[in-house]
């Protein structure tokens, strides 16, 4: 959905989706979602109205502008349908060095990624080492990445809450995205995150958080990930067109600029045959050595630096 003249406009629905079959078309103005007036609201407001229904049907009222004649109001009742295909897969790989590697492949962050990751971590609890493969992951729903950070990072009572990221506005104002409390599933098993040049956006936010808090050792096939850390907003113009402007950007907890720097791996390696390499014992550092490495990393960190945040100033 996009915003135009303070009214939500529906983007082209997928040809086989319920909305398309029912008659929702690009250009329709969304008036009400479940009896909530959407006029003057943003696309984020519309998404929240849909999500608030849970698994119930969505009641949608739109208006369609005919080429000749008045606008026609249409109403629909659409049943929410969860995708049967998960973007996450996992398996326990028995390596030749007798180590059990919990391999998790996440292609994108969709609405079920958090729940699927929780299931994966519980099923892989016997792993000597976890490997999260984010190669080619373009991002997606940031909230799912935040949820996953809560599974892998632990907020200790009495210590400052850990951050997933900093958000800095163009004016230089700072906001923080905090790791969810009470969500930890596994904050102990040695963790490797694998990235490449196409790892972007929410994937970089999650990886940056895990790396900065010394929870994960990052291996990349390139010297940096994609570098997509901008937050953009749509602003309608009087002629009916719109303008996309950058309104903020993400920094990692150590305030590395994701947009300009991407995520720089701790080590680069040839990842063309990753799974085969895992099975043969390659790319797997000694789990005890990795655990010690992460402990040394945490000891060398200055918590005060993370609490300070990006340098304040006139924005960017």
Q: Which amino acids are annotated catalytic?
A: 201, 228
Query: How far is the CA of 154 from the CAs of 157, 162, 178, 188, 240, in angstroms?
Result: 9, 8, 11, 9, 47
Sheet containing strand 100-106, edge to edge, reads 88-94, 100-106, 129-133, 191-195, 216-220, 267-268
Integer Cα distance of 219 and 185 in angstroms:
23
E strands along the chain, which residues? 2-4, 7-9, 29-33, 36-37, 57-65, 71-79, 88-94, 100-106, 129-133, 163-169, 174-178, 191-195, 216-220, 230-236, 242-251, 267-268
Where do we find the tokens 């993370």?
Answer: 306
Integer Cα distance of 205 and 167 in angstroms:
11
Q: Measure CA of the first residue to CA of the last residue in the chain; give whole Å.
A: 28
Where do we find the tokens 């609490």?
Answer: 307
CB 181 within 8 A of CB 231: no
- φ, ψ for residue 284, nearest 5 deg: -115, 100
Concatenate the DSSP letters of all residues of 242-263 into one string: EEEEEEEEEE-TT--BHHHH--
Which structure tokens are listed for 86?
Answer: 């998960």
């Amino acid at each position: 959905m996009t915003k135009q003249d303070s009214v939500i406009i529906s983007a082209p629905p997928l040809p086989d989706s319920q909305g398309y079959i029912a008659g929702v078309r690009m250009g329709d103005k969304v008036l009400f979602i479940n009896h909530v007036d959407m006029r003057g609201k943003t696309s984020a407001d519309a998404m929240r109205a849909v999500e608030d229904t849970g698994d119930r049907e969505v009641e949608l009222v739109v208006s369609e502008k005919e080429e000749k004649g008045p606008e026609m109001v249409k109403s629909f009742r659409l049943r929410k349908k969860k995708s049967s295909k998960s973007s996450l897969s996992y398996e326990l790989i028995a390596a030749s060095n007798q180590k059990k590697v919990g391999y998790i492949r996440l292609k994108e962050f969709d609405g079920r990624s958090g729940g699927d990751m929780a299931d994966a971590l519980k099923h892989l609890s016997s792993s000597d080492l976890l490997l999260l493969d984010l190669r080619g992951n373009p991002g997606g729903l940031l909230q799912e990445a935040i949820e996953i950070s809560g599974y892998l990072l632990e907020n200790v009572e009495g210590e400052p809450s850990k951050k997933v990221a900093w958000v800095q506005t163009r004016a230089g104002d700072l906001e923080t995205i905090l790791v969810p409390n009470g969500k930890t599933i596994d904050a102990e098993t040695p963790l490797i995150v694998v990235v490449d040049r196409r790892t972007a956006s929410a994937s970089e936010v999650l990886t940056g958080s895990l790396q900065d808090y010394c929870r994960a050792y990052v291996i990349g096939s390139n010297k940096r990930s994609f570098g997509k850390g901008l937050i953009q907003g749509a602003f309608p113009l009087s002629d009916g067109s719109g303008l996309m402007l950058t309104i903020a950007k993400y920094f990692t907890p150590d305030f590395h600029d994701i947009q300009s720097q991407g995520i720089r791996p701790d080590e680069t390696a040839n990842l063309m045959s990753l799974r085969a390499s895992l099975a043969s014992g390659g790319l797997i550092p000694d789990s005890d050595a990795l655990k010690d490495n992460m402990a040394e990393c945490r000891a060398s960190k200055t918590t005060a630096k993370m609490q300070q945040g990006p340098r304040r100033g006139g924005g960017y």
